[in-house]
Amino acid sequence: MLNQILAITIKDLKVLVRDRGGMISLFLMPVMFILVMSFAQRDMYSVGTTDKPVELLVVNLDEGDLAEEVITNLAAIDGMDAVQEFEGKTLNYTLADKLIEDREYNVAIIFPENFSDQILAATSDPNSMEAVVKFIADPSTSTQFLAPIRGSVEGFIQSMISFAQLPDRLLNGFDQMAAESPAEQAGFITSVGNTFVENMATGDFVSDANLGVRFEQVAPSSYRVPQYPTSIEQNVPGYTIFGVFFIVQVLATSILSEKQDGTFRRLLVAPLARQALLLGKLVPYYIVNLIQVASMFTVGKLVFDMNLGQDPLALILLTISTAAAATGLGLLVATMGKTPEQIGGLSTMLALTLAALGGVMVPSFAMPEAMQNIAKVSPHYWALSGFQDVIVRGLSVQSILNETGILFAFGLIFFAFALWRFRFQD
């Protein structure tokens, strides 16, 4: 029995080794995935360090000294770069807003004109108007990236404000204690001492105090964002694109099967152009892709009340252009594999690698700059950028014409190369 097991094992190993394409894809797929993900995430966990500081646009409109003091201390924090100028120009609200819109930076903080006055006014008047410090952030920026920045900046500002208000609060506290103390001198001193020590120990000076500041997070002014996106709006488009491109394996395997069965050879005798034959083969899978996107977004809307943006036409254009790129790639893969194993390995490798490269698994802004440029060779990058423009940023069809054009170009290039390489009979 052992001899029989050994004979079968040796036979199957020989079959496997002869399938060189399958073996290459079997080993190449994990290698490519490791390389892409490792390079993409190389700087992800070093953001906020001395070597790769967080770049925070800072606009100081304050006429007093308090905001400047806060900014000076922010700039001294290891791992944070407070940017107050761009190309030699001092930042104002409009310029910072435009830089976030153009995706040059991810976050800006705006100190209002009356920041110092309102902070100091809150020392004596708990009902005074609060200074509003605004964070301008791209809505597509992940919470995991943005929350630590906001938390650090807000906590630092609040501690600085508390320190700035402390002298006046101490004086106000002594005045209040003096007014409430007995007329006798000894009793007054005892009462002041006890109350002062008690308040210093418990922190009652500032725990309920009005710090005079409020924080708001807003999107760039050109974005139409009725409410800040949830994780659903940020994640569903990426998962949808990831699923759409799995049509590559199904399409390529189907074409290979028909070639091996002789179906294409029989169709060649029909008065039909080869381009028309291949296009006819693509159409059913193209329709399946459209249904995929519609069903995924429908689930997101019905189950999670997902926001689908302000322009349905933009979503339609992105869907049909993404499906064109996916089916075109499937046809191209069909020309590269000779066996189902080769098709499966190559399809899976492309699906994972292009998704990782295109920002579906790792946000593009968190990648090294070189990887951000390389990511643009992936159709996933343009599809994700387009869907984020519509769903997350609330933009219209005019804003995604570039993405849809590039996706259609991907589909056309894939189809052209597939037509050039395609062999209707082996």
Q: Percentage of residues in the chain with pLDDT exceeding 90?
A: 22
What is the C-alpha to C-alpha distance for residues 16 and 21, in angstroms, rounded to an integer?
10
Tell me the per-residue pLDDT of 187-215, one tens digit each, with 9 for 90 and over: 454 455 455 545 544 444 444 455 678 88
pLDDT in tens, 384-419: 999 999 998 889 999 999 999 999 999 999 999 988
pLDDT of residue 201: 43
- At 329 the pLDDT is 94
Q: Which domains does the chain have, with CATH numbers?
A: 20-43+229-421 (no CATH), 54-218 (3.40.1710)
* Model confidence at 314: pLDDT above 80: yes
pTM: 0.74
Binned at pLDDT 50, 70 and 90, residue 77 comes out as: confident
**pLDDT, greater one: 354 or 195:** 354
SS3 label, residue 385: helix
Q: Give the pLDDT confidence score for residue 207 in this predicted structure.
A: 44
Higher per-residue pLDDT: 180 or 408: 408
DSSP 206: T
d(CA 72, CA 50): 17
Q: Do the beta carbons of residue 126 and residue 118 sit within 8 Å?
A: no
Q: Does 71 score more than 70 pLDDT?
A: yes
Residue 348 is predicted with a pLDDT of 83
Which pairs with CB-CB distance under 8 Å and at least 24 residues apart come from 365-369? 365/103, 365/106, 365/141, 365/145, 366/40, 366/41, 366/43, 366/44, 366/47, 366/145, 367/39, 367/40, 367/41, 367/43, 367/44, 368/39, 368/40, 368/42, 368/43
Query: What distance in Å separates the CA atoms of residue 212 and residue 229, rounded to the nearest whole number?
Result: 28
Residues in the chain: 426
* Mean pLDDT computed over 119-123: 75
